[in-house]
Amino acid sequence: MLRITIRFRDRQRLESVPEDSVVLGRRGSGVSMIDVDLAPDLAVSRRHARLVCDRRDLWIEDLGSTHGTTVSGFPVTQGKRHKVNPRDRIVIGETVLFAALDPDWEGPPTAVEDGMTATRVRNAEVPPGSEELARALGVPDEHRVSLLHLPIRLAGATTLEDVVDLAIPAIEGLFPEADQGALFLLDPVSGTPVPRASFPSCSVKFARDMVLRALQEKKATLWTTHDRFAAGRNGEGPILRCALVAPLPGYGTTVAALAVGNSRSPSALTPELLDVLVLAAHYIALALARVSKPQPERPA
């Protein structure tokens, strides 16, 4: 069985093909023998390329296409086969494909591996302070007031659920440049980060690698891409063009990460906004640490 992940613009689908020879192209009048249709990509030729399974190896050949075929950036010469490894990136027209034989299938690369670049990285630890700290971090004036109101809003939280419920709406308001965001908390059993809340509700597209790297390195990162394809393996719905991810410093027993992203423009989130996210993560971490502390018993 041949597994092919197909990405065109902001959509992705998975094809499972039993044949040993698979023709990739675009169906049209008078065109037959197309196994995988890459329409509506008009840059794909009617019979563009062929994937061939030879024993345990996978190969691709260009069938005389107009715009050519590349494998991990290397052009495929017409009439010659080019070997395809499970993580190789195949570009046909404006479509990106990942192909592998079933036993080798690991799914397409995550955002950190596939097109996303760390354009700024900074330490996530911050000193105590409020107004002076915001100025020192270079927080833009239009975000400073909302940012400094965040610890005031979180002061009313008495449980972890309160912190989560208060934090996500505040982050959504703090980052009008973002069309999605999520608060991740460590699962107490597996120890892995899981999304506890997000905006829009139940719409988390951040690559797991982004969050894991933030936790492991204790650094905040601005991720950008000029490719439309980024976070998330399921590929449904808008996919990130840029993202900010920051760990929540472990001031108590709870460790987590905060992330916001934009699916429309790779320049929507700026390095200055990374400073905003770091300080917001700092305030949320303090609130989580406070509500996680054992409360002293009141005297009878």
Residues 139 and 260 in one domain: yes
Q: What is the C-alpha separation between 77 and 250, in angstroms, rounded? A: 53
Residues 175 and 88 in one domain: no
The bridge status of strand 21-25 relative to strand 36-37 is: parallel
Q: What CATH number did the domain enclosing 215 receive?
A: 3.30.450.40
Q: What CATH number did the domain enclosing 31 receive?
A: 2.60.200.20
User: Is residue 109 a part of any domain in this protein?
Assistant: no
Q: What is the C-alpha separation between 195 and 203, in angstroms, rounded? A: 10
Q: Domain ends where: 76, 104, 132?
A: 104
User: Is residue 110 a part of any domain in this protein?
Assistant: no
Residues 130 and 180 in one domain: yes
Residues 270 and 145 in one domain: yes
Residues 269 and 136 in one domain: yes
Q: What is the C-alpha separation between 151 and 239, in angstroms, rounded? A: 31
User: Is residue 195 a part of any domain in this protein?
Assistant: yes
User: Is residue 163 a part of any domain in this protein?
Assistant: yes
Alpha carbon dihedral 269, 272, 277, 279, in 10-degree steps, equals -170
Tens digits of pLDDT across the chain (300 residues)? 788 989 887 788 888 888 789 999 998 776 668 899 999 999 999 999 999 988 778 999 999 999 999 988 889 998 899 999 877 889 999 998 988 887 665 566 655 555 566 777 777 766 555 445 555 455 666 777 788 788 889 999 999 999 999 999 999 999 999 988 999 988 777 777 888 888 886 556 666 677 877 887 788 888 887 554 444 434 444 467 888 999 987 765 556 889 998 888 888 998 888 888 888 898 898 898 888 876 555 555
User: Is residue 298 a part of any domain in this protein?
Assistant: no
User: Is residue 270 a part of any domain in this protein?
Assistant: yes
- Residues 183, 296, 163: CA angle, nearest 5 degrees: 15
Residues 90 and 126 in one domain: no
Name the residue type at position 126: V
Residue 32's Cβ-count burial label (10 Å; 0-12, 13-18, 19+) is: exposed
The bridge status of strand 180-186 relative to strand 256-262 is: antiparallel
Residues 21 and 137 in one domain: no
- Residues 215, 216, 219: CA angle, nearest 5 degrees: 65
Contacts of residue 112, defined as CB under 8 A and 6 or more positions apart, other chains included, come to 207, 209, 210, 213, 223
**pTM beyond cutoff 0.75:** no
Residues 222 and 275 in one domain: yes
User: Is residue 223 a part of any domain in this protein?
Assistant: yes
User: Is residue 299 a part of any domain in this protein?
Assistant: no
Residues 82 and 163 in one domain: no
Counting the structural domains of the chain, the total is 2
Domain around 248: 117-292
